[in-house]
């Protein structure tokens, strides 16, 4: 076939050597200057997508200058991959990388995990028939190539933006996302449920789940594998091994090698003939009896353990047939193994070990990604705080410096960290006190009970867990800590709204689920000074558990000094501004927005009292009675769900009779719905928690018009 010039969407003409049928021919006219939303909405790959997104990005954002991608330009959905040759699929993988790199430069997001999994994604969609076959992912960061291939390429510039694409898989976004992924470790459980439902209903679709290194640290993965082995339903589990670990010492050890022999063995293990021979041998040994079946099973396990990498027999013990390792950069190997597995009608659960080594980034680049997440919360405050090196100082920086100062004075202080990634700030503590720092990865349940054990051993553990991840360890918080009154100090990070991470990592519920525990002391810092004081306070509490929260984002003050903290009197708040008639009682970060509302109202001649509660449990009863007695209106403000701080205030003032007279009380909390990804400033506006919203509520209670704002 001759070479024909091809006009790309960006206006670049390219020569393309490939075989296409009539469906794949395109020209510049294929890309209209105006986008028809109704046409996009009717496309099968975008089912419900436009309703979810609301609007498409600006046309100038869609067609910025980039390298030509002629094959990708004609792939509207995974069906179009079926007619491509291996050579064309390899070119497609290269073009997807170019596309991701272009999107990365446009959105300033880290696509490292997705870049490493491009060939795996292409192979999955080439072999399996989504959306009939179900492909589930544990981690959203791996799914950007999947999004591109499933009709969402045009919307990639809107990734993690308001009304844009989610950074994770989403059932409401695409029919190609059969299950939502965010915190990891759920895909095998959900996939097994789908597989069992398929069997009960007599259907034949395939179910594939993709897990990664980080999620293999979570216990739910092994619970699901064990149950899958017991149920013996057809299920394909792919371990996307990027050779990334949270623990540097592990990375220094031997890595799983991939060579021609391992590739050949993987093909052999996955072949239909080998699997049938193995099953036939099992049947024969069972019939012979006299312990032959058990002996043969041991020989089989030993032989496969010798062929496979270190630890491969673990999956066999759980009941999954292990295949691997497979080179994740070799499409032909991936497709061969996946096709063999897909061709078997009765195979039981299979685990395919795929090596997709991420492009190594420097430690500074990895730090930059995490710092960007922390600094996303800048919009919480209009004031920015920078250190001498230009780094925007965050609450996490403040926390770690306070912990270091306390640890220098108190040798029993230890830090336990759990979550998907460690904040760079914590490296300071790890470097200073390496034997007193424990990063357990995505093992929040273990982190809580481990901390309880450390406390029982006479140490003072600070257990640092993001709010959304602490939810997974709630049973341990209740029974292993609070019920036994064990003094564990919970530091709840990423509290409240978290910007582009949306509802999946939003810390909306910790105030509610921690403050309902009988023995728990619950605090929230309104600024960096209070955060330092709460570290000091928690250090001195030795008879019960305590927790305190702080948001993502920059510090409130630009002249932040490093100083030691002072222990707070338990259950005491403070008045920041004294006025009359109206009292704003803020909790945590929302104290700053109460002060903004007070400044706005002061311009209208309305004198407002602003108080900082500091404690949700125990409440400052004396402060509450004073606010109720000296003001006609009391408004409580928190960045948490219904049932939190405001509910505790309501419980007290109702029982105390404060609502029996002239007092008007109104709570301002997060709305009873999940707030989708957007900038922190946009999320606060959507939640009605900005200074303007608080001021507008005050005016409404005063019978004044809201037109001032």
Q: Are the C-beta atoms of 114 and 9 separated by less than 8 Å? A: no
Question: At 34, is the pLDDT very low, low, confident or very high (cuts 50, 70, 90)?
Answer: very low
Q: Give the mean pLDDT of the chain.
A: 81
Greatest alpha-carbon pair distance for the chain in Å reads: 95
Four-point Cα dihedral 468, 469, 474, 477, nearest 10: -110
What pLDDT digit, counting tens, does each position of 57-87 carry?
A: 554 444 445 678 999 999 999 999 999 999 9
CA 20 to chain centre: 39
pLDDT tens per residue across span 287-311: 555 554 454 455 455 545 545 555 6
In this structure, whether the domain defined by 395-549 belongs to CATH 3.30.1300.10 is answered with no
Question: If residue 491 lies in a helix (H) or strand (E), which one and from where to where?
Answer: strand 489-493
Ranking 252-261, 576-585, 698-707 by mean pLDDT, the lowest is: 252-261
Give phi and psi for 653, each to the nearest 5: -70, -25
Q: Where are the domains of the chain?
A: 72-245+313-355, 395-549, 574-702
Confidence of residue 38 (pLDDT cuts 50, 70, 90): very low
Name the CATH topology of 72-245+313-355: Rossmann fold (3.40.50)
Run of H or E residues at 355: strand 349-355
Confidence of residue 140 (pLDDT cuts 50, 70, 90): confident
Closest by Cα among 612, 667, 621 to 642: 667
**Residue 327: how many CA atoms within 13 Å on its side-chain side?**
14
pLDDT in tens, 225-248: 999 999 999 999 999 988 654 444
Instruction: Report which secondary-structure segment, H or E, holds 235.
Output: strand 235-241
- Asked whether residue 22 carries a pLDDT value surpassing 50, the answer given is no
- Assigned CATH for 574-702: 3.40.50.920
pLDDT band at 283 (very low <50, low <70, confident <90, very high): low
**Which of 457-466, 559-568, 615-624, 675-684 is predicted least confidently?**
559-568
- Label residue 214 by pLDDT band (50, 70, 90): confident
Q: Closest Cα to residue 241, out of 330, 120, 387?
A: 120
Least confident interval from 266-275, 379-388, 399-408, 451-460: 379-388
Q: What would the pLDDT profile of 365-413 be if each residue is shown by its tens digit?
A: 444 444 445 545 443 333 334 344 445 788 999 999 999 999 999 999 9
- The DSSP bridge pattern shows strands 664-668 and 631-637 to be parallel
Domains 72-245+313-355 and 395-549 share a fold: yes
pLDDT of residue 318 exceeding 60: yes
- The model carries a pTM of 0.78
Q: How much of the chain exceeds pLDDT 90, in percent? A: 61
């Amino acid at each position: 076939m001759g070479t024909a010039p091809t006009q790309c969407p960006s206006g670049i003409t390219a020569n393309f050597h490939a075989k296409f049928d009539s469906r794949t021919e395109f020209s510049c006219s294929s890309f209209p200057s105006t986008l028809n939303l109704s046409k996009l909405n009717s496309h099968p790959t975008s089912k419900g997508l436009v309703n979810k997104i609301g609007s498409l990005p600006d046309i100038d954002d869609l067609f910025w200058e980039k390298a030509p991608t002629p094959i990708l330009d004609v792939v509207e959905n995974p069906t179009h991959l079926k007619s491509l040759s291996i050579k064309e699929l390899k070119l497609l993988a290269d073009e997807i990388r170019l596309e991701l790199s272009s999107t990365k430069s446009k959105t300033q997001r880290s696509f490292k995990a997705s870049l490493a999994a491009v060939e795996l994604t292409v192979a999955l969609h080439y072999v399996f028939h989504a959306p009939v076959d179900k492909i589930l992912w544990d981690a959203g960061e791996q799914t950007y190539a999947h999004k591109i291939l499933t009709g969402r390429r045009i919307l990639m510039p809107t990734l993690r933006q308001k009304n844009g694409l989610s950074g994770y898989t989403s059932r409401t976004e695409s029919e190609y996302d059969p299950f939502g992924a965010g915190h990891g470790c759920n895909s095998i459980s959900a996939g097994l449920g789908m597989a069992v439902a398929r069997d009960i209903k007599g259907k034949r679709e395939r179910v594939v789940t993709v897990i990664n290194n980080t999620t293999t640290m979570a216990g739910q993965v092994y619970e699901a594998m064990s149950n899958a082995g017991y149920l013996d339903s057809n299920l394909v589990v792919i371990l996307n091994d990027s050779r990334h670990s949270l623990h540097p010492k592990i990375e220094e050890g031997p890595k799983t090698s991939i060579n021609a022999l391992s590739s050949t063995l993987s093909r052999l293990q996955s072949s239909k003939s080998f699997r049938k021979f193995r099953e036939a041998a099992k049947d024969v040994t069972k019939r012979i009896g006299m312990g032959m079946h058990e002996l043969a099973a041991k020989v089989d396990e030993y032989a496969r353990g010798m062929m496979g990498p270190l630890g491969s027999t673990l999956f066999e013990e759980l009941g999954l047939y292990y295949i691997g390792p497979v080179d994740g950069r070799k499409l032909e190997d991936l497709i061969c193994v996946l096709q063999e597995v897909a061709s078997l009608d009765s195979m039981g659960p299979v685990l395919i070990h795929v090596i997709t080594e991420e492009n190594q980034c420097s430690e500074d680049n990895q730090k930059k990604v995490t710092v960007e997440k922390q600094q996303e919360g800048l919009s919480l405050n209009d004031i920015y705080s920078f250190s001498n090196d230009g780094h925007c100082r965050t609450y996490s920086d403040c926390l770690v410096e306070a912990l270091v100062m306390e640890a220098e004075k108190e040798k029993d202080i230890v830090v336990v960290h759990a979550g998907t990634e460690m904040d760079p700030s914590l490296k300071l503590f790890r470097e200073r006190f390496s034997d007193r720092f424990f990063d357990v990865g995505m093992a929040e349940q273990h982190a809580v009970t481990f901390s309880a054990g450390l406390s029982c051993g006479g140490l003072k553990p600070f257990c640092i867990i993001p709010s959304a991840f602490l939810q997974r360890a709630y049973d341990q918080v209740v029974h292993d800590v609070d019920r036994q009154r064990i003094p564990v100090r919970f530091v709840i990070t990423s509290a409240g709204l978290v910007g582009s991470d949306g509802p999946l990592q939003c810390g909306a519920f910790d105030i509610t689920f921690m403050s309902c525990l009988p023995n728990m002391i619950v605090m929230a810092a309104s600024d960096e000074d209070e955060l330092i004081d709460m570290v000091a306070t928690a250090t001195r509490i030795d008879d019960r558990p305590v927790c305190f929260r702080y948001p993502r984002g920059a510090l409130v003050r630009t002249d932040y000094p490093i100083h030691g903290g002072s222990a707070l009197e338990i259950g005491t708040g403070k008045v920041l501004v004294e006025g009359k008639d109206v009292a704003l009682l803020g909790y945590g970060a929302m104290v700053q927005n109460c002060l903004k509302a007070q400044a706005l109202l002061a311009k209208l001649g309305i004198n407002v009292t602003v108080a900082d509660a500091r404690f949700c449990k125990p409440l400052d009863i004396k402060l509450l009675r004073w606010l109720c007695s000296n003001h006609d209106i009391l408004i409580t403000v928190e960045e948490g769900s219904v049932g939190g701080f405001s509910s505790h205030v309501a419980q007290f003032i109702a029982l105390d009779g404060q609502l029996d007279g002239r007092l008007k009380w109104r709570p301002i909390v997060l709305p009873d719905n999940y707030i989708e990804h957007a900038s922190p400033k946009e999320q606060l506006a959507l939640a009605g928690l900005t200074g303007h919203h608080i001021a507008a509520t005050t005016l409404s209670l005063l019978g004044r018009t809201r037109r001032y704002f």
